[in-house]
């Protein structure tokens, strides 16, 4: 008769299953937030570029120097 060297309880599997799900959901949350931030930064950059390009067409560069 051999003796089992490692006995894992139900708690072990519940703990690691919960930890795995929590890490995966956290990664999805951060990834989604990063994607939203990147999209908003692109929109802001386009708005600023549009304003700067419009100003440069309206005024002569000599006015700035």
Backbone angles phi, psi at 22, to 5 degrees: -65, -40
- Predicted confidence at residue 33, as pLDDT, reads 96
HSE on the CB side for 41, CA within 13 Å? 6
The rounded distance, in Å, linking the Cα atoms of 50 and 20 is: 45
pTM of the model: 0.57
pLDDT tens sequence for the chain (65 residues): 666 667 778 899 999 999 999 999 999 999 999 999 999 999 988 888 777 666 666 665 555 55
CA 2 from centre of chain: 51
Q: What is the pLDDT of residue 16?
A: 96
Query: How far apart (Å, rounded) are the C-alpha atoms in residues 52 and 2?
Result: 79
């Amino acid at each position: 008769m051999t003796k089992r060297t490692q006995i894992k309880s139900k708690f072990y599997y519940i703990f690691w299953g919960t930890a795995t799900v929590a890490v995966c959901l956290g990664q999805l949350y951060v990834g989604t937030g990063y994607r939203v931030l990147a999209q908003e930064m692109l929109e802001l950059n386009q708005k600023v570029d549009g304003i700067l390009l419009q100003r440069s067409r309206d005024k002569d560069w000599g006015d700035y120097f």
